[in-house]
Every structure is written in structure tokens, then in C-alpha cells.
Amino acid sequence: MSYHGGGHAGVGGDTGDIGNPYSSPGDPLFYLHHANMDRLWNKWQRADWPARKKDIAGPDVQFAYPWNFFGDIPYNNVTLNYQMDFIELLGTDRRFVKIREVMDITSPGLCYTYDA
């Protein structure tokens, strides 16, 4: 199990709120877990910033490889130009955000850091 999945299932199990993909944002631990994943990602990035500021890969859908049990989910690998849909957060004026825009937490759009 991945670090991400382990945080959800390890605390909430199969029946707890944090283990449920639909209700997990209702659990306060969800935000602590995701903030820590962001912190660890940034720490990993900064260990070799020139190479890792552009290091991205993986499927463009959740639960694709290796969890595509029935082989019916077509997917492509993401790139820095992949557009994430944030209509629920940003509205229709700025609905899409490219991954390249959020790879650096110190960029103008995000502008935050973590203490060492």
C-alpha cells in the first residue's frame, strides 16, 4: 500500500470516514495527512531541486494502474502540462491549473514554505 493509501486505510480502515473516498474530507485527519504528504513531497523535491522540480509521472486517473482490475479505464501518463480540474474550488473563471503551476510551493500562485 502506498503512503497515501496507508494514511487513509491505516487510520480509518475500510469503514472509517478517512478511509472512504467520498466522506474522507469530512474527517479533520484528512487535512493533516494531506498536508504532511505535501511537506514530504517538497522535502524530497528540495533534495535535488534542479532535477525534481520537473519530475512528474503516473496515470491521469485515480485507481488506474496497477489498480485497473477490469482493464476498462483508459489513461495516459501525466506531464507538466496536464490540466487539473478545480471547478469546485476556483469556479469557471480559473477552472484548470497545470501541474507545472503547482510544482513549486514558493511560486506566486502558492507562495508558502515549510519549516525545516
Q: Taking 90 as the threshold, does the pLDDT of residue 112 lie above it?
A: yes
Q: Is residue 99 within 8 Å of residue 109, measured between CB atoms?
A: no
pTM here?
0.75
- The angle at the Cα of 11, spanning 7 to 12, to the nearest 5 degrees, equals 110
What residue ranges do the domains of the chain occupy? 3-55
- The angle at the Cα of 9, spanning 7 to 13, to the nearest 5 degrees, equals 140
Residue 56: exposed, middle, or buried by beta-carbon count in 10 A (0-12, 13-18, 19+)? middle
Q: Helix 3-12 to helix 28-47 angle, to the nearest 10 degrees?
A: 160
Residue with cell 472512504: 20
Taking only the tens place, the pLDDT of each residue in 41-66 is 999 999 999 999 999 887 776 555 55
Selected residue with higher pLDDT from 61 and 92: 92
In this structure, the chain runs to a length of: 116
Task: Please list the residues that pair with 85 across neighbouring strands.
Answer: 96
